[in-house]
A and B are shown apart, each in its own frame.
Chain A
Amino acid sequence: MEKVKCECGHVNPYGTVICESCGKPLQDEGKSLLNMRYEGAARRSQTYKRSVVDHIWNFFSSVKVGIWIIVLLLVASGFGTIFPQVEFIPPGENPAVFYENEYGTIGQLYYLLGFHNLYGSWWYMLLIAALGVSLVICSLDRVVPLYRALKKQRVTRHEGFLKRQRVFGTSRGLDHEGEIEKATKVLNEKKYNIYEENGNIVAEKGRFSRWGPYVNHIGLIIFLFGAMLRFFPTMYVDENIWVRDGEQVPVKGTDGQYYLYNENFEIELYDEDDELYQEALMREGSSVVETYRTSAVLLERSDDGIVGSEADYEKVKSHDIEVNDPLTHDGYSIYQVDYKLNELSEFSFRLQSVADDNGDVPDTEITVDLYDPEMSYDLGGGYVVEIEEYFPDYVFDEHNQEPTTATRIPDNPLIIFNVQTPSIPDGEKSVVGVQTNEPILGENEYRLELSGVEMNDVTALTVRLDRTLPLLIVGGFIFMVGLIQGSYWSHRRIWLQQKGEELWVAGHTNKNWQSLMKDFEAISSNTNIAMPIDQVEEDELEQERQYQRRRDEDQGSDVDA
């Protein structure tokens, strides 16, 4: 493609709108204000429109498309909050029926459209991917030309460039040199950088803020990339473990390398007599948990590599895990998330004779560990208690018409015992559970009397490893730097140029024109240079005055008629 040579001698890339060097408008010769976006530099998306690559490039570099992507994400995200997402519905609920039961037909539709898992849906992911692509392309499309144009700009600018700036003014009959010198001093004080050429100056300030958007977009790209890495194995661990008091369990997600020992779990409630909170606690009507904590010991398993040899557990560290204070080691964090108080852990029984005349029943207590019961207990003298079946969390399966267990947690333990005695060597069966203790067939001669119950506290911990965090932190940090850079500074330029008898002033800023005008006020109150006008503001006020005049006339004629 051919390059464009400007009358100032500078050779501009094909597609340039405003000469990079002198600022002469190359494409439109009109009178209206110059469109200063990207300094009128040639952008790929505005220049090449032929191949498929061009079309894709142009599509994603368009700000309009970018805005559509953002708006679609916004609306979609909003939809996801109408009803709870599937991970927030009560545990154990079947989403297929939950939404319909709870929210009626609309809820069912919500579920059928997949909105119950909106943020994990393919199309939401696709929108985020489109955002990423758009960010990369739109930034590349603009930042390179913008950089070129800002680097190549000359001090002396073409007439058409100055006149068609938003802020423009002329003064006559001044001592040009002297006034420019005075103005330079004012602008120096305002921390402008001054460049001089042939007695003309351009004062520039805050150019670095022009890179703000690109820096923040890069940060965003890094962040999105980091968030995507999560889906690769080994980058992310999300496991739950339940640990009982005094129990040691392998830390899931660590391939058996680490173990966690729960020394003690405890819970503290707010003191209801505390004057400070009394009123609030009364309103609450129930006690409020202040803290819950697991005194945990992290152990590392070290076996010497010999198969079958006993493993050694070496203590790594101990830590009181609380909400907001996880145990961290080797990239893993173990968080306090939940707890269960008073979970059944042991039942104790004594064997008794129902009729009380069946000879000497040994007076031995048996203790059944509800987590992992032994199946047989020999009481001596021919008395043996056997466990035929054990359901830690008994339910009756309606479908198969048989008893079964819902979970392995002893929330509703049910035991079927077979008691063998000298008089009944085949044994007699009974079923024992929470508030049940009955013979299975007819009457039994012996009965296992519940003599003790032990309970345990259980702590729920989450194991987390997230190797994407460093990338997210870097991305987030760069994003913030760019955001601040672009938002809290603006790029201002003030041109002072001698044009024969006249002294021309023009100004441009990428934002905050009122602040630019204040700088001009400082110049005009310290020199004889006249205050330039903000042509946009002036036009607007003029239009308003005309409109008002017309309306007043209309009303006047109304009155006449």
Chain B
Amino acid sequence: MPELSSNLLLVAFFLYLLSTILFAVAVTGKKFRNRQGHFQNRSGFLGYVASIIGFLFAMGYFITRWIAAGHAPVSNMFEYTAFLAIMMSFALVIIYTIYKSDILGLFTMPVVMLIIVYASMFPTEIQPLIPALQSYWLEIHVITTAIGQGILAISFAAGLIYLVRVIDFTKRNKRVRGVEFILYTILCFVAYISLSIGFNVAGYEAEFQYINENGQEAMMEYPMPAVVGPNEGQLLTDQAMEPFLSAPSIIESNDLNTVVWSMVSGLLLYWLIRLAIRKPIGAVLQPLTKSISPQAADELSYRAIAIGFPIFTLGGLIFAMIWAQIAWTRFWAWDPKEVWALITFLFYAAYLHLRLSRGWHGERSAWLCVIGFAIIMFNLIFVNLIIAGLHSYA
């Protein structure tokens, strides 16, 4: 069963890829005027169908893994992150029925694929549940939250479309740099994934002995060559690289090292692309976005938040509180994960109120959509891995 489950996810991944390609064809290819005078393109529809089938296969993964594990597969980093990506594709499927926007599909699907691959960098084996997680509220709370976040993530895709659509890439200013920075961040994830797979295939491993934050000797493994070594680290593995720098003891230096590798390689990747195309990446994407009016992109990004916000609030705050009351004896504990869910909530509340004022539609609103998604990813990655609290993930 676990085998079947991961194969289903693999199939889903390739269907998402197919859907991306079809959406790309739809956006770049010729369009035909139909009887009502609307422009239409069959491949957009096919891309949509592929995304639905991909989503169904992904749900196949989810259900079979649930059956195999005996609990919903949302209880560790791999499972939750993959599920979030699946829910993003679900959100696209829903929002496409309202707006029929191929460009939205083209911007969303690659993000979905990237997150799925990112998820599979974490340990993927089925884990036993600690007592606090043994409750049907695990399923209710986490699934609802992921649906909400998945829909909110669509506003990121739409916001990015808006920015790429309206920004003048012939200029050199903050706005251009901002969009390029978003794209660079995405490239860092690509770099991280490639490096992880690469070093893993090459069988790289370096072991260090070091002095930890309690002043004791400990061991640490590096999956990538150590640029930043641990505190007073001593390399134990033969033929591994000696670090250039050493990190203070309170920092998990192997994680820091991975982050450094990803950021530097992301930069390299970015400049390679820039060298090849000789203009900002946004400028290359811009023609794709011409099929949508800025107003429509703006509305799309707002609509995703209007739909996602109540669901996120229900799952991430209300169900969370109910469960916390049962499992932790109190509905609110000011645990970092909880606080960041509250911050997400407050952020989108501020967004909704800002849109009541003039001057906060359009571009500013689009930047906010990007920041909102950054907060969600921050809560997923940084808070889980670095500021871990009562939420015992990963």
B200 CB–A CB distance under 8 Å: no
Asked whether A291 lies within 8 Å of B296 as measured between CB atoms, the reply is no
Interfacial chain B residues near A81, Cβ < 8 Å: 336, 339-340, 383, 387
Q: Report B172 CB to chain A, min CB distance, Å.
A: 15
A312-356 residues with Cβ-Cβ distance < 8 A to B are 322-324, 326, 333, 335, 337
Asked whether A288 lies within 8 Å of B128 as measured between CB atoms, the reply is yes
Asked whether B69 lies within 8 Å of A276 as measured between CB atoms, the reply is yes
A254 CB–B CB distance under 8 Å: no
Asked whether B326 lies within 8 Å of A324 as measured between CB atoms, the reply is yes
Interfacial chain A residues near B302, Cβ < 8 Å: 511
B211 CB–A CB distance under 8 Å: no
Partner of A289, one of B131, B309, B349, B387: B131
Asked whether B299 lies within 8 Å of A472 as measured between CB atoms, the reply is no
Q: Report B392 CB to chain A, min CB distance, Å.
A: 11
A262-307 residues with Cβ-Cβ distance < 8 A to B are 270, 276-277, 279-281, 283, 288-292
A232 CB–B CB distance under 8 Å: no
Asked whether B126 lies within 8 Å of A277 as measured between CB atoms, the reply is yes
Residue of B at shortest CB range from A271?
B128
Of the candidate stretches B10-18, B19-27, B351-359, the one touching chain A is B351-359
A367 CB–B CB distance under 8 Å: no
Q: Report A525 CB to chain B, min CB distance, Å.
A: 6
Interfacial chain A residues near B198, Cβ < 8 Å: none
Asked whether B303 lies within 8 Å of A512 as measured between CB atoms, the reply is yes
A152 CB–B CB distance under 8 Å: no
B291-309 residues with Cβ-Cβ distance < 8 A to A are 293-296, 299, 302-303, 306-307, 309
How long is the Cα–Cα vector from A277 to B68 in the complex, in angstroms? 11
Partner of B354, one of A67, A488, A514: A67
Of the listed residues B134, B321, B347, the one surrounded by the most CB atoms of chain A closer than 10 A to its CB is B134
Residue of A at shortest CB range from B350?
A70
Asked whether B342 lies within 8 Å of A77 as measured between CB atoms, the reply is yes
Asked whether B126 lies within 8 Å of A80 as measured between CB atoms, the reply is no
Asked whether A283 lies within 8 Å of B123 as measured between CB atoms, the reply is yes
Asked whether A513 lies within 8 Å of B299 as measured between CB atoms, the reply is yes
Interfacial chain A residues near B36, Cβ < 8 Å: 521, 525
Asked whether A541 lies within 8 Å of B134 as measured between CB atoms, the reply is no
Asked whether A77 lies within 8 Å of B339 as measured between CB atoms, the reply is yes
B359-394 residues with Cβ-Cβ distance < 8 A to A are 383, 387, 389
Asked whether A280 lies within 8 Å of B329 as measured between CB atoms, the reply is no
Of the candidate stretches B153-161, B255-263, B267-275, B310-318, the one touching chain A is B310-318
How long is the Cα–Cα vector from A484 to B308 in the complex, in angstroms? 10
Asked whether B135 lies within 8 Å of A324 as measured between CB atoms, the reply is yes
Asked whether B296 lies within 8 Å of A480 as measured between CB atoms, the reply is no
How long is the Cα–Cα vector from A336 to B326 in the complex, in angstroms? 10
B222 CB–A CB distance under 8 Å: no
Residue of A at shortest CB range from B313?
A483
Q: Report B185 CB to chain A, min CB distance, Å.
A: 20
Asked whether B387 lies within 8 Å of A74 as measured between CB atoms, the reply is no
A88 CB–B CB distance under 8 Å: yes
Of the candidate stretches A173-181, A385-393, A532-540, the one touching chain B is A532-540
How long is the Cα–Cα vector from A66 to B250 in the complex, in angstroms? 39
How long is the Cα–Cα vector from A67 to B349 in the complex, in angstroms? 8
Asked whether A280 lies within 8 Å of B127 as measured between CB atoms, the reply is yes
User: Interface readout for B38-67 with A: 1 if CB under 8 Å, 0 if not?
Assistant: 000000000000000000000000000000
B191-218 residues with Cβ-Cβ distance < 8 A to A are 213
Asked whether B131 lies within 8 Å of A63 as measured between CB atoms, the reply is no
Asked whether B130 lies within 8 Å of A288 as measured between CB atoms, the reply is yes
- Summed over the interface, the residue pairs from A and B with CB atoms below 8 Å come to a total of 139
Q: Report A279 CB to chain B, min CB distance, Å.
A: 4
Asked whether A292 lies within 8 Å of B131 as measured between CB atoms, the reply is yes
A78 CB–B CB distance under 8 Å: yes
Asked whether A281 lies within 8 Å of B128 as measured between CB atoms, the reply is yes
Asked whether B349 lies within 8 Å of A323 as measured between CB atoms, the reply is no
Asked whether B310 lies within 8 Å of A289 as measured between CB atoms, the reply is no
Residue of B at shortest CB range from A283?
B123
Asked whether A487 lies within 8 Å of B318 as measured between CB atoms, the reply is no
Q: Report A225 CB to chain B, min CB distance, Å.
A: 16
Q: Report A45 CB to chain B, min CB distance, Å.
A: 14
How long is the Cα–Cα vector from A534 to B326 in the complex, in angstroms? 51
How long is the Cα–Cα vector from A354 to B336 in the complex, in angstroms? 61
Interfacial chain B residues near A480, Cβ < 8 Å: 310, 313-314, 318
Asked whether B357 lies within 8 Å of A64 as measured between CB atoms, the reply is yes
A461-496 residues with Cβ-Cβ distance < 8 A to B are 462, 464, 466, 469, 472, 476, 479-480, 483-484, 487-488
B173 CB–A CB distance under 8 Å: no
Q: Report A205 CB to chain B, min CB distance, Å.
A: 16
Interfacial chain B residues near A337, Cβ < 8 Å: 329
Q: Report B80 CB to chain A, min CB distance, Å.
A: 15
How long is the Cα–Cα vector from A326 to B319 in the complex, in angstroms? 18
How long is the Cα–Cα vector from A502 to B318 in the complex, in angstroms? 53
Asked whether B98 lies within 8 Å of A515 as measured between CB atoms, the reply is yes
Of the listed residues A283, A323, A521, the one surrounded by the most CB atoms of chain B closer than 10 A to its CB is A323
Q: Report A360 CB to chain B, min CB distance, Å.
A: 54
- Take A514-B299, A537-B295 as given contacts and tell me if A484 and B128 are in contact as well, using a CB distance cutoff of 8 Å: no
A235 CB–B CB distance under 8 Å: no
Asked whether B343 lies within 8 Å of A462 as measured between CB atoms, the reply is no
Interfacial chain B residues near A123, Cβ < 8 Å: none
Asked whether B310 lies within 8 Å of A488 as measured between CB atoms, the reply is yes
B132 CB–A CB distance under 8 Å: yes
Asked whether B130 lies within 8 Å of A85 as measured between CB atoms, the reply is no
B109-137 residues with Cβ-Cβ distance < 8 A to A are 123, 125-128, 130-132, 134-135, 137
A147 CB–B CB distance under 8 Å: no
Residue of A at shortest CB range from B125?
A279
Q: Report B357 CB to chain A, min CB distance, Å.
A: 6
B325 CB–A CB distance under 8 Å: yes
Residue of A at shortest CB range from B349?
A70
How long is the Cα–Cα vector from A476 to B215 in the complex, in angstroms? 48
B288 CB–A CB distance under 8 Å: no
How long is the Cα–Cα vector from A281 to B347 in the complex, in angstroms? 39
- Take A64-B357, A80-B334, A483-B309 as given contacts and tell me if A70 and B346 are in contact as well, using a CB distance cutoff of 8 Å: yes
B181 CB–A CB distance under 8 Å: no
Interfacial chain A residues near B325, Cβ < 8 Å: 466, 469
How long is the Cα–Cα vector from A88 to B333 in the complex, in angstroms? 10
User: Interface readout for A357-384 with B: 1 if CB under 8 Å, 0 if not?
Assistant: 0000000000000000000000000000
Interfacial chain B residues near A525, Cβ < 8 Å: 36
Of the listed residues A103, A276, A515, A521, the one surrounded by the most CB atoms of chain B closer than 10 A to its CB is A276
Partner of A488, one of B125, B307, B327: B307
Asked whether B310 lies within 8 Å of A487 as measured between CB atoms, the reply is yes
B96 CB–A CB distance under 8 Å: no
Asked whether A483 lies within 8 Å of B346 as measured between CB atoms, the reply is no
Residue of B at shortest CB range from A79?
B339
Asked whether A540 lies within 8 Å of B339 as measured between CB atoms, the reply is no
21 pairs of residues in contact across A and B, judged by CB atoms under 8 Å? A63-B353, A71-B350, A74-B347, A81-B336, A85-B334, A102-B250, A238-B330, A276-B68, A277-B128, A289-B130, A290-B131, A323-B131, A324-B326, A333-B329, A472-B321, A487-B310, A488-B306, A488-B307, A514-B295, A515-B98, A544-B294
Given contacts A326-B326, A488-B306, 15 further A-B contacts (CB under 8 A): A63-B356, A67-B354, A78-B340, A81-B336, A88-B389, A323-B131, A324-B135, A324-B327, A335-B329, A476-B321, A484-B310, A513-B299, A514-B295, A525-B36, A536-B295
A-B pairs with the 10 shortest C-beta distances?
A323-B131, A279-B125, A537-B295, A280-B127, A74-B346, A81-B336, A324-B135, A335-B329, A483-B310, A277-B128
The chain B residues found within 8 Å of chain A, CB to CB, are 36, 68-70, 98-99, 123, 125-128, 130-132, 134-135, 137, 170, 213, 250, 293-296, 299, 302-303, 306-307, 309-310, 313-314, 318, 321, 325-327, 329-331, 334-336, 339-340, 342-343, 346-347, 349-350, 353-354, 356-357, 383, 387, 389
The chain A residues found within 8 Å of chain B, CB to CB, are 37, 63-64, 66-67, 70-71, 73-74, 77-78, 80-81, 84-85, 87-88, 102-103, 119, 238, 270, 276-277, 279-281, 283, 288-292, 322-324, 326, 333, 335, 337, 462, 464, 466, 469, 472, 476, 479-480, 483-484, 487-488, 511-515, 521, 525, 534, 536-537, 540-541, 544, 551
